[in-house]
Amino acid sequence: MEVDGHSLTIDDVLKIARSKPGDIPVSISQESIERVKKSRQVIDEALGSNQIVYGVTTGFGANAEKTIPVNEVRLLQRYLIVSHSTGVGDPVSPETSRATMLIRLNSLARGFSGVRPVVLQTLVDMLNKGVTPIIPSKGSVGASGDLAQLSHMALTFTKDPRPEIQNREKILLRKLIDGETLSEGERKEVLQLGGEVYLWNDGKWERMPAILGMHIAGVERIVLEAKEGLALNNGTAFTSAVSIFAIDLARKILDAAILSAAMSFEAIGGFESAFNEQVMELRGHRGQVEVARKLKSIIERSELIRAEEKVQNSNNIRREFGHVQDAYSLRCIPQVYGPVLETLELAEKWLIEEINGVTDNPIILPDVSYTNRVFSAGNFHAEYPGMAMDFLRIAFAEVGNMAERRIFRLLDKRLNRGLPAFLALEPGLMNGLMLAQYTAASLVSENKILSHPSVVDSIPTSASREDHVSMAPNAAFKTLELLENVVRIVAIEFLVAHRGLKFRSGTPGKITREVIKILDKFTNKELEDHVLSHEIEEITDLIKSGKLSNLS
């Protein structure tokens, strides 16, 4: 895959992140290399003329007024990376780390960051050879970029410019190569020099010191020149990477949630008139129309639903159910899942723009006609991905909320239109799926807490120079956590609807029949009480695999 700074997609990121290193070779377009060289020339000229440029010949953040001599600019970049490597918590997965590297590479490939081509090539070599930085999950406030996490990334492939420290690194590396046992002090030195990496070896990831992993892979660690540390650790690549995995899971959940909703609709014998195409179009929302169309395609030719003409012409239906319309959790699926669909599309749009954007600071504009070609701005502020994740979390909390109401309705004998209480084979002696709803209720309640937006919770940093931050990484991680709950709620809806349909006579819709065949492999064919946890988790994994996507 050729990286050009402009055309990276969400699916590209997922493919590279999840592929075996080298299976999909990454390269940089020649056009990008030329742009990168052009912007680097601006930095070299600024150094040659002793210009004062933020982050090049000055300190950082609240220390920006401090001028740095040209002979110390390399050390300035080294100190930036090591001092900002303050991440804590469990490391993210190798897949998330690889996604972060690819997104950062793509941003640098735009050619507005002032780095040398060797910086980009080093990232390419690491991706292709399976050297993946170990990045702690916590510590970014999402403005000035993901400083902590991106510093941990940069630490692995950059080295101190001072000869005496480079010599010490060589001594420690030789001990590691020879398999010598390091003292506790030496072990800490090694981590200070480069942190740790995962190295792809014999079909699995092995954790080791970065200086050893890079050596084994044959990728040379580099000394950063002026501006390069700042170009690496300013930016939203880490937040964007986590957000992309959230979007991928959200896509699968929404496809599955429409299917499980349709199955519940059939199991309870819903009134199809609620999804009338002309009525949907009168509202004017594309997402609502699309969800209603999918629902109708799933329940098409079902013998279990109440068709419009039957509702209008039959007193039997009125006598049987006492009304001719459903509860909102059935009748309003398009009106709720429609905005969820459009929110997901908005989040995808913003993330695609973000991963193809220039998100560091300062920005180099090599082609402008005026003297100043280095601009200090705020493209590192992660409000776009942060809001995208906050919106997505609110939307998918609603998916869980509504699914749980249908689960409840199918289990309550007063509401489920003739089905046994809790869908038990022998209610009273057996409890059926009673407790499955408890689990869904617990997850829904937790999601209400997780739905609180992160971007409104700013805390100033850097002596208030950075007085408004996005907290976007928190938003992204909370979104993944909430989606893990929602996918299980949807799995429970599948479990309950699947059981409910077993008690109905009549043929379900064609697509529903396909889903039933799939679920039959993961559910106990006997209706007597049994342990349900493993079935919920197996259906959860089925949803995550995407095998319940695009059936409609």
3-state secondary structure 131-171: EEECCEEECCCCCCCCHHHHHHHHHHHEECCCHHHHHHHHH
Residue with tokens 């199955």: 263
Q: How far apart are CA 47 and CA 227, in angstroms?
A: 11
Q: How far apart are CA 152 and CA 438, in angstroms?
A: 42
Q: At what angle do helices 383-411 and 333-355 cross, to 10 degrees?
A: 150
List active site positions.
54
DSSP string of 444-508? HHHHHHHTS-STT----BGGGTB-----HHHHHHHHHHHHHHHHHHHHHHHHHHHHHHHT--S--
Beta bridge partners of 197: 133, 208
DSSP-derived 3-state class of residue 379 = coil
Q: How far apart are CA 374 and CA 363, in angstroms?
A: 6
The tally of CA atoms less than 13 A away on the side-chain side of residue 486 is 32
Query: Among candidates 339, 337, 267, which has minimal Cα distance to 305?
Result: 267
Strands 136-138 and 131-133: unpaired
Query: Among candidates 98, 124, 109, 100, which has minimal Cα distance to 29?
Result: 109
Q: How far apart are CA 442 and CA 435, in angstroms?
A: 11
Query: Among candidates 378, 410, 70, 367, which has minimal Cα distance to 261?
Result: 410
Query: Among candidates 419, 427, 548, which has minimal Cα distance to 496?
Result: 419
